[in-house]
Amino acid sequence: MIKVVDLKKNFDKLEVLKGINEHIEKGEVVAVIGPSGSGKSTFLRCLNLLEDVTEGEIYVDDELINSPKADINKIRQKMGMVFQQFNLFPHLKIIDNITLAPTLLNKMSKEDAVKRAYELLERVGLKDKAESYPASLSGGQKQRVAIARALAMDPEIMLFDEPTSALDPEMVGEVLDVIKDLARSGMTMVIVTHEMGFAREVATRVLFMDQGIIMESGSPAEIFDNPQNERTKLFLSKVLNL
């Protein structure tokens, strides 16, 4: 579903990604873990070209997306993205946050979009907030709306960029529950996260990134219980023995 070949990304002279090769199959839930500065967010953002790629190839459904010929707007409609900072549109009501893209991009009529938005809000447990503005929601609620907003485009893939990192601790659970629910429904997902327990529970595969490359990849059991790479061991010993 997503194929990444020798992906490199530089910010001016700083090499952030130094050659990533990765293949993500349909239905996989891939958790990307690693220390800060390891390039995991950049990797995720390259997948829907929020960062332009310095070198290498990214294929989504066998289509090369980082080519001038690719219609990036069309491709992005297949990939929902959830940000650390939620990025809800503060000038729009919750319901309009969710219906904006499907109606503007003629994916569905206003009526259908509203109906679908209410279904999604029900799914994330926020139906009663439809007519509120984002400013009146808590962080956890905002992130759940952001997930609903991304789902409104019926994406094939969901990308999560540290979805709980900006949340107060007591709100992390409610957001993770929504993501777990989504994982169980068979959605293909790539999740950059610092929540190790969550990664272990929900992921079908874990990628450990450090220094701009994928150091180790395997099932949660392999990575967490029996890491092979020295850097993985070091990282896990730091984050798991807090």
**Where does this chain bind another protein (CB under 8 A)?**
48, 50, 73-74, 76-77, 79-81, 83, 85, 87-93, 100-101, 104-105, 133, 135-136, 146, 149-150, 153
Angle between helix 110-123 and 139-151 (nearest 10)? 130
Nearest to another protein of 118, 133 (CB atom)? 133
**97: nearest Cα among 134, 65, 62, 48:** 134
Nearest to another protein of 149, 200 (CB atom)? 149
Minimum distance from CB of 46 to another protein (Å)? 13
Minimum distance from CB of 59 to another protein (Å)? 18
Nearest to another protein of 91, 110 (CB atom)? 91
Minimum distance from CB of 242 to another protein (Å)? 29
* 49 residue type, one letter: L
Nearest to another protein of 7, 151 (CB atom)? 151
Minimum distance from CB of 162 to another protein (Å)? 13
Minimum distance from CB of 184 to another protein (Å)? 24
Torsion of CA 159, 227, 165, 168, to 10 degrees: 130
Residue 43 and residue 20: Cα distance in Å, rounded?
8
Nearest to another protein of 149, 205 (CB atom)? 149
Dig out the tokens for 184 from the structure: 């169980």
Cα distances (Å, whole numbers) of residue 102 to 56, 78, 179, 188: 31, 12, 21, 20
